[in-house]
Chain A
């Protein structure tokens, strides 16, 4: 399974963190520090796989963002690269030409999308369209509710 997924900028600023196992807050911070240090130190044409403690670390850089995940030792690293890529494609489909700012200003959306793609550290849906449709539907549901709420308020209903 995937143990964690981190997104951080070239300056080491965290943009998203998803943890799939219970870890104390202090240790999370340490892991983030270790990952950012290790990954940012890598030379441009290095291989995308690292070893850290008993985990395999797979990372990929997309423009100004590093996508970095920690996996159990029996996971397939090449497939993990595909997983990261799939997530980026989903973000791109949603935001249209996604860039780092999208993820900064709409971080909760980035999480929602992730939660439709991965569950409990495993891939839950292998079809891009199904994931995108689910997100759209959820968004619609949310908007519909907001509209009706506003409507309630306008009418002065409690």
Chain B
């Protein structure tokens, strides 16, 4: 059937030559072999089904095989040609291999021509038959006709095995020296193939290659440059030898660049771009790591960079190669800047190919020439909006490499915009790139948290698993942003619960800081007006939704439980939720619920302590995955502290469960912050672990600040510790613990000091001291002593223990020295 005949150029007329009619007529009139080949092609193409085609081909192959067996009848070449056509369609043609060998040995040019073509198509070095043509090739290399020589050279360069190459190398070397340019250029490339197959033979060709550089013929020159490049790439000594020809190469290039219009080699205004590019590549190899060579090509490169017209692909190809060379050799900085600017211009080119090339090149140099590339950041960021997926991908890589402390805010805006519209296959990579950049250069904690939340909202499904604990850690460290963060997350949660990572963080946050939601106040953002029920509703929705993964539901349940110590009215609701999930089919949830239930029932007196606010999770603790932070800020951690740190599990929510395990028996104690207490956290962050350690004993503790016991009676112990001491005052902390069976309630501390001393007592952390030493109450006292009198203090301790009201007075005459 007639194929749609679309011409490659301008004419759209059907070519009459190939119409069925014309071929058939020709076949009828004159069954000359060439027409018969075309007739066969026509018949095969006319087959309407695969089966029909197979049938035709089988018949033809049978005929061809028969012909091969016959004596020479002048049709052999055409039969082989037919076979080669059939082979291209994908059918087996190995029975033609010997025919190739025979035809190559024929004295007739047309038979040799097809024979060699067949050899290149059907024989490769892995076929045994290929060795059989070695002799023919050898003979043909010295043939009187250059076109026969050409066939031999072409075939050797295409499929010559190492053995054939070794055999024929001397012949090739001879042709390199003494022949016409038509043969020399082919011999040069044949030598390239030989060197690739048998690198040791490189030495043989080196002298001849050197001599070829003085040829004027472009074909020969091109071949010479390719050969020299290959020789230099394989042998260091040869490379050093050829460094001496740099001036010669520079001259040749100059000639090409500055010469006038040469019709024979001109492509879009560039004189022989193929040769120019190869010379530039050779210069690159010769100039690499060598100052002298690099210096001698500096001017030329600048000249090429400035004078080459890049409006068409040919010119751009030359400029591109120039840039690659400049960046790879030891060029002076002005030249490097010139090169980067060329790449920057490429970025603005209409041609997508050139934009793509520019970005791959910029990617290679963005580390070494960071500032130069930064200048083109705007254009690169614009390429994020390109239609082509390859260009987008490159632009993303480059943008991420260009993020710095200076441009983080503006660049992140672009990246987040990109994230919302980028192709799905790039989302995970974009998200992780954004996280890394944010981690390294976040200008403020609030910005950092906002950025991560933005990513989670846009592409939460594509982020890696570590994102959740990383974000939680970040939130805990941003202590003054807890209110802001919980508000933002609450709002996100009530909007959409489908993104698991976001929901998990939101649940955790609400569990931890839910009380801040209920106060109805927030400095950083519009506060929400919610009731306890609203908050519990939000968590319960997550618990019950089929969209929530089991891990997410775990987060929600734990958060609900934590709220039992942070809300006041709806504790019963929490109790009932927890007890319902005690029979949940999900084993993990069931276990948690059962344990929380126990916490309500048997261990209710511990509940407050167990569910207290988490301390700040230290970033460098094991189990926390660090981003690639630049600099050694993390290395400040001293080894001693690490031994005291514990493995904080990735899901902080599990810490509650671990505590419960602890109560069952000795285990790893939970040690909060290893830092010496030179900071006094707000009243909520009381350290709960201290006495656990005492109970279990034998464990190394961070050197506790010097603490003086000032009162011990009825199981109540009061300790004093100096936080800070100056000439005119001091800050002290009083810590009360209780080793009795029952909680101590209504604890109050009152203090009196000498007349000139001013006293300020901060609010105590609470008035209930949990039993068994499981908790404590702290109170900070600020003393201002402007007259520098000797400090004394009298403290009255009042409390109720097991229903009895107790009251005592303590005199403190000396204060311990502060920790440092």
Contacts and interface: CB of A to CB of B under 8 A. Distances in A.
A138 B737 CA distance: 106
B147 A76 contact: no
Q: Which of B42, B390, B391 has the most CB of A within 10 A?
A: B390
Contacts of B389: 46
Interface in B378-411: 387-391
B6 A64 contact: yes
Interface string A12-30: 0011110110111000010
Contact of A62 (B8, B264, B388): B8
Given A47-B391, A124-B223, A127-B264, A78 B88 contact: no
B226 A122 contact: yes
Nearest to B74: A149
B354 A78 contact: yes
A101 B5 contact: yes
A88 B390 contact: no
B157 A82 contact: no
B8 A48 contact: no
Contacts of B277: 76, 79
Contact of B219 (A81, A101, A124): A124
A98 B154 CA distance: 25
Nearest to A133: B182
Contact of A127 (B150, B192, B265, B354): B265
Nearest to A148: B108
B390 A101 contact: no
A107 B353 CA distance: 30
Contacts of A50: 390
Interface in A30-82: 43, 45-50, 62-65, 74, 76-79, 81-82
Interface in B760-774: none
Interface stretch (B313-321, B480-488, B590-598): B313-321
Contacts of B110: 142, 145-146
Contact of A29 (B90, B185, B352, B388): B90
A64 B4 contact: yes
B321 A79 contact: yes
B357 A78 contact: yes
B103 interface: no
Given A81-B313, A107-B85, A149-B74, A63 B189 contact: no
Contact of A47 (B113, B281, B390): B390
A155 interface: no
A10 to B, nearest CB: 9
B400 to A, nearest CB: 19
Given A63-B7, A119-B186, A126 B222 contact: yes
B313 A78 contact: yes
A145 B148 CA distance: 13
Interface stretch (B267-275, B671-679, B748-756): B267-275
B31 interface: no
Contact of B8 (A16, A49, A88, A145): A88
A98 B147 contact: no
A124 B186 CA distance: 7
Q: How big is the B interface, by class?
A: 35 or more
Interface stretch (B9-17, B244-252, B807-815): B9-17
Contacts of B711: none
A16 B87 CA distance: 11
Given A127-B264, A127-B265, A63 B192 contact: no
A63 B6 contact: yes
B18 A105 contact: yes
A101 B15 contact: yes
Contacts of A129: 264
Interface residues of A, number: 68
B345 to A, nearest CB: 14
A126 B154 contact: no
B186 A126 contact: no
A47 to B, nearest CB: 4
Given A22-B159, A46-B390, A105-B41, A98 B317 contact: no
B305 interface: no
Interface in A88-104: 88, 91-92, 97-102, 104
B653 to A, nearest CB: 43
A16 to B, nearest CB: 8
B22 to A, nearest CB: 11
B608 interface: no
Contacts of A47: 352-353, 355-356, 388, 390-391
Interface in B249-265: 264-265
A47 B395 CA distance: 14
A61 B529 CA distance: 64
Nearest to A50: B390
Interface in A106-142: 107-108, 111-112, 115-116, 119-120, 122-130, 134, 137-138, 141-142
Interface string B65-77: 0000000001000
B9 A22 contact: no
Given A62-B8, A77-B357, A126-B218, A119 B153 contact: yes
B41 A104 contact: yes
B5 A99 contact: yes
B101 interface: no
Contacts of A77: 353, 357
A62 to B, nearest CB: 5
A36 B387 CA distance: 22
A88 B357 CA distance: 23
A49 B158 CA distance: 25
Contacts of A49: 353, 356-357, 390
A86 B150 CA distance: 21
Contacts of B320: 76, 78
A126 B274 contact: yes
Contacts of A98: 7-9
Nearest to A130: B219
A77 to B, nearest CB: 6
Contact of A24 (B117, B126, B273): B126
A97 B9 contact: yes
Contacts of A101: 3, 5, 15, 17-18
A89 B108 CA distance: 30
B109 interface: yes
Interface in B183-236: 185-186, 189-190, 192-193, 218-219, 222-223, 226
B316 A78 contact: yes
Contacts of A48: 353
A101 B158 CA distance: 27
Contacts of B192: 120, 122
A141 B317 contact: no
Contacts of B124: 19, 22-23
B478 interface: no
Contact of A119 (B8, B9, B17, B189): B189
A45 B8 contact: no
A14 B87 CA distance: 11
A20 B147 contact: no
A71 B218 CA distance: 23
A49 B316 CA distance: 15
A24 to B, nearest CB: 7
Contacts of A24: 126
Contacts of B219: 124-127, 130
21 contacts: A14-B90, A47-B352, A47-B353, A65-B8, A76-B317, A81-B317, A82-B314, A82-B317, A86-B267, A101-B5, A102-B18, A104-B41, A108-B114, A120-B157, A120-B193, A124-B185, A124-B222, A125-B222, A126-B219, A134-B147, A141-B145
Pairs of residues from A and B, 5 with the lowest C-beta to C-beta distance, nearest first: A120-B157, A78-B317, A99-B7, A22-B124, A79-B317
